[in-house]
């Protein structure tokens, strides 16, 4: 998505450790009109998938998932990173490692919100090593639901997460795939 690539180039900042800071529009301060455009694009890309529910992980994926859910007119569910007191019933849970925070989270979803009848679209802001999406896939598997694909705003193509998921047969649609990111700048993979 050219508009996202342009926004990354103009507003993104490369930090140490292959970290891309897009806090001005995506994962701290939100450019609401732009987030809605991302959601509309995911709705277009997955219009053939008969999606019944969108699943993301807190917190940065929630805004994009909500925009996608609004465009597709389906509910949005997010996996919580902690088993809080407002999780009343039985839950699906799995452990996800966060490279950004260098820690493990036990992510949970209440069973009443994810069932075997669901056709689930996973949405997230970033895909690097793929651990967050693998955790979401595990939750969908535990529910006996069907994963129809994963929509990612920004994929770090120079890391192995996207390739690994695609080799498993997961349909991954990334709006921008960064091929290279270093002190000389950012280059994107050409997409069809």
Question: What pLDDT, on the 0 to 100 scale, is given for residue 166?
Answer: 97
Helix extents (H) in 54-94: 62-72
Q: What gap in Å lies between CA 61 and CA 70, rounded to an integer?
A: 14
Q: What gap in Å lies between CA 174 and CA 155, rounded to an integer?
A: 6
Q: What gap in Å lies between CA 81 and CA 106, rounded to an integer?
A: 6
> Tens digit of pLDDT for each residue in 14-54?
998 788 999 999 989 999 999 999 999 999 999 999 999 99
- 84 CB-near residues (< 8 Å, 6+ apart): none
| Residue 186: band (very low, low, confident or very high) from pLDDT cuts 50, 70, 90 | very high
Closest C-alpha to 35, from 61, 56, 59: 61
Domain ranges of the chain: 2-188
What is the model's pTM? Answer: 0.94
> Tens digit of pLDDT for each residue in 62-103?
999 999 999 999 999 999 986 666 666 788 999 998 877 788
Q: Does domain 2-188 have CATH number 3.40.50.2020?
A: yes
Element (H, E) at 44: helix 32-45
Provide the β-strand partners of residue 150. 122, 172
């Amino acid at each position: 998505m050219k508009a996202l690539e342009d926004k990354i180039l103009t507003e993104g900042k490369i930090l140490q450790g292959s970290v891309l800071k897009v806090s001005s529009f995506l994962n701290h301060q939100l450019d609401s009109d732009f987030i809605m455009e991302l959601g509309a694009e995911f709705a277009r890309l997955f219009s053939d998938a008969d999606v019944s529910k969108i699943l993301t992980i807190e917190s940065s994926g929630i805004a994009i998932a909500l925009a996608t859910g609004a465009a597709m007119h389906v509910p949005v569910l997010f996996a919580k990173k902690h088993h809080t007191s407002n999780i009343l019933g039985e839950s699906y849970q799995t452990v996800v490692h966060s490279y950004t925070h260098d820690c493990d989270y036990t992510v949970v979803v209440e069973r009443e919100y994810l069932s075997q009848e669901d056709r689930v679209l996973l949405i997230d802001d970033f895909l690097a090593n793929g651990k967050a999406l693998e955790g979401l896939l595990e939750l969908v598997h535990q529910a006996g639901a069907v994963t129809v694909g994963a929509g990612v705003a920004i994929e770090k193509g120079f890391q192995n997460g996207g390739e690994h998921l695609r080799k498993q047969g997961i349909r991954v649609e990334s709006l921008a795939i960064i091929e290279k990111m270093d002190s000389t700048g950012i280059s994107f993979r050409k997409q069809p």
